[in-house]
Amino acid sequence: MIHWLTDPFTLAFMQRALVAALLVGVVCSVLGCYVVLRSMAFLGDALAHAILPGVAIAYIFGFSLLLGALIAALVVAFGIGLVSRGGNIREDTAIGILFAAALSLGIVMISTIQTYATDLTHILFGDVLGVGPHDLELTAGLAVVVLATVLLLYKEFLVVSFDPLLARISGVSPGLVRAVMLVLLALTIVISLQTVGVGLVAAMLVTPAATASLLTKRLPAMMAVSAVVGALSSLIGLFASYYLNVASGAAIVLAATAFFVLAFILAPRRGLLWRGARGLLASSAQHG
Partner 1 sequence: MKPQMTRVASGIGFQLRDVVVNYDGHVALDRVTLKVEAGGQVAVVGPNGAGKSTLFKAIAGLLPLRSGRIDLEGGPPQLRLAYVPQREEIDWRFPVSAFDVVLMGRYGRLGWLRHPQAADKQAALASLERLSMGPLADRPLAELSGGQQQRVFLARALAQEPNLLLLDEPFTGVDVSVRTSTLEVLDALRAEGVTVLVSTHDLNLASERFQQVLLLNHRVIGFGVPGEVLTAERVAEAFGVHALFVGGAIVIDQCCPPTEP
CB under 8 A: which stretch of 146-154, 194-202, 229-237, 279-287 binds partner 1?
Answer: 146-154
Tell whether residue 222 is a contact of partner 1 (CB under 8 A).
Answer: yes
* Buried b / exposed e along 53-72 (16+ C-beta atoms within 10 A): bbbbbbbeeeeebbebbbbb
Instruction: Name the residue nearer to partner 1 (CB basis): 184 or 196.
Output: 184
The C-alpha atoms of residue 230 and residue 212 are separated, in whole angstroms, by 10
CB distance 224 to 213 below 8 Å: no
As a 3-state breakdown, the chain gives helix, strand, coil percent values, each rounded to 5, of 85, 0, 15
Dihedral of CA 215/216/220/221: which sign?
negative
Site string for partner 1, 16-45 (x = CB under 8 A): ---------------------x--------
Is the backbone of residue 154 left (phi > 0), alpha (psi -120 to 50) or beta?
alpha
226 or 241: CB nearest partner 1: 226
Q: Give whichever of 161 and 233 is closer to partner 1, judged by the CB atom.
A: 161
- Calculate the alpha carbon distances from 173 to 24, 42, 95, 170 in Å: 29, 23, 22, 9
Minimum gap (Å) between residue 162 Cβ and partner 1: 5
Does residue number 101 form part of the binding site for partner 1 (CB under 8 A)?
Answer: no
Q: With binding defined as CB under 8 A, does residue 86 bind partner 1?
A: no
Q: Name residues contacting partner 1, limited to 147-166 (CB under 8 A).
A: 152-156, 158-159, 161-163, 165-166
Tell me how far, at minimum, the Cβ of 213 lies from partner 1, in Å: 7
275 contributes a contact to partner 1 by CB under 8 A: no
- Candidates 81, 216, 224, 235; binder of partner 1 (CB under 8 A) is 216
Cβ contacts of 5 within 8 Å, gap of 6 or more? 239
Tell me: does residue 111 bind partner 1 (CB under 8 A). Answer: no
Q: Rule CB under 8 A: say whether 90 interacts with partner 1.
A: no
Options 147, 219, 238, 250; binder of partner 1; rule CB under 8 A: 219
- Range list of H helices, 63-173: 65-85, 91-111, 116-125, 133-152, 154-162, 164-169
Closer of 257 and 270 to partner 1 (Cβ):
270
Beta-carbon-side half-sphere exposure of residue 252 (alpha carbons within 13 Å): 41
Please report whether residue 226 would count as binding partner 1 according to CB under 8 A. Answer: no
228 binds partner 1 (CB under 8 A): no
Which one, 144 or 169, has the nearer CB to partner 1? 169
Whole-number Å distance between alpha carbons of 206 and 197: 15
Candidates 138, 168, 228, 264; binder of partner 1 (CB under 8 A) is 168
Residues at the interface with partner 1 (CB under 8 A): 37, 152-156, 158-159, 161-163, 165-172, 213, 216-219, 221-222
